[in-house]
Amino acid sequence: MKKTLFCLLAAMLVFLSVSALGDTAPVSMTEGPSQGFTQEEGELETYDLTFPEEMPLVNRNFVLLARAQFEAHPFERLPKANDYTKWYYHDKREIGWCSVFQIWCAYHSGLPLIRLKQDIDVSQEPFSVMEGRVGNVYLGFEAQGRWLSGTEGAVPKPGYLVIYGVRGSTPYTHVAIVESVTPRGDDRYELTTIEGNLGSTIKRINYLYDANPKKKYVNMFTIPENEITRQNCQYTLQKDNWYITGFGATW
C-alpha cells in the first residue's frame, strides 16, 4: 500500500513538474518555423483596433496579445527577472527584456519564430525573430529580405517590429511592436507602439514618424496636444536622442 502511494505521489510530482515547465521558450530550434496555436477571429479582445484586410490573423493576434499584456500591466514597473525573462531564459537572470517581450507575444499568439542562423527561407510567410539581442533581431529580418530602413523612407504596418537607435551611438538599442499606423500626409505617420522593458515597464506610446525627414537621424516627433486622439498612451518620446532605425516586416 505504501509503495503504491509512493508511486502515485512520484507520478504526480513528475506531472506537476512537466506542467510547470510546459510553457517555456523552445531553446533548441533546428527545424523551420511551424504554425503554432493561434486564437480564432473574435477570441481576443480587439480594443476597437482595426487592421488592414490583408493582414494575417496570426499577426493580428500578435498585436492584440501585446496590447492585452499592456492592459494587464499598464505602466507598471516590473522586476528585471519577470514572467517574460523566466519563460525565455529558463532561469531568474536579471536582463533587458524588450526583445524577449516581443518573442513571448509572438510565441503565445502562434506567430512562427526563427533563429538568426537557421538556414531556412520564410520570405513569404509570417514570422518573427527569436533573438534576445536587438541587433540580432535586425539581422534576422535582413537575412530574410524583410528589413525596412527607417532612414530611407520605410512605411510600417501594424504588427511590424520597430527598432530604435541612438544618434551617435548604436542603431540597435530597443525593439517594440507597432500597434497601429495612421497616415498624416507629407510622408508622416502616426504610430502607436507597445514597448516592453521601457523603464522596466510595458508602455503604449503614441508619436509621429517622418519617413522623409530633413535630418536623416531625426525622424520621431511628438504629436501636438490638440491633435491627440489615442487614449491611455505616453505622448512624449522614449528618449530625445532616439530615432527609428527601421522595421521588421513580420508579414
Q: 101-120, pLDDT tens digit by residue? A: 999 999 999 999 999 988 88
Q: 44-97, pLDDT tens digit by residue? A: 999 999 999 999 999 999 999 999 999 999 999 999 999 999 999 988 888 899
Domain ranges of the chain: 53-248
More confident residue, 121 or 190: 190
Q: What is the grid cell recorded at 143?
A: 537575412
Q: 157-183, pLDDT tens digit by residue? A: 999 999 999 999 999 999 999 999 999
Q: Residue 128 corresponds to which amino acid?
A: S
Instruction: With a cut of 80, say whether residue 245 has pLDDT above it.
Output: yes
**Predicted pLDDT at 38:** 76
* % of the chain exceeding 90 in pLDDT: 76
Instruction: With a cut of 60, say whether residue 209 has pLDDT above it.
Output: yes
pTM: 0.87
Q: Rounded to an integer, what distance in angstroms lies between the CA atom of residue 1 and that of residue 103?
A: 48
Q: What is the grid cell recorded at 125?
A: 510567410
Helix locations, the chain, DSSP H: 2-22, 57-72, 83-89, 98-109, 134-143
Q: Residue 116 corresponds to which amino acid?
A: L
Instruction: With a cut of 90, say whether residue 33 has pLDDT above it.
Output: no
Q: Report in angstroms the alpha-carbon separations of 76 from 72, 73, 120, 202, 207.
A: 9, 5, 38, 7, 21
Q: What is the mean pLDDT of residues 124-150?
A: 96
**Predicted pLDDT at 2:** 40
Q: What is the mean pLDDT of residues 15-23?
A: 40
Q: What is the mean pLDDT of residues 2-22?
A: 36
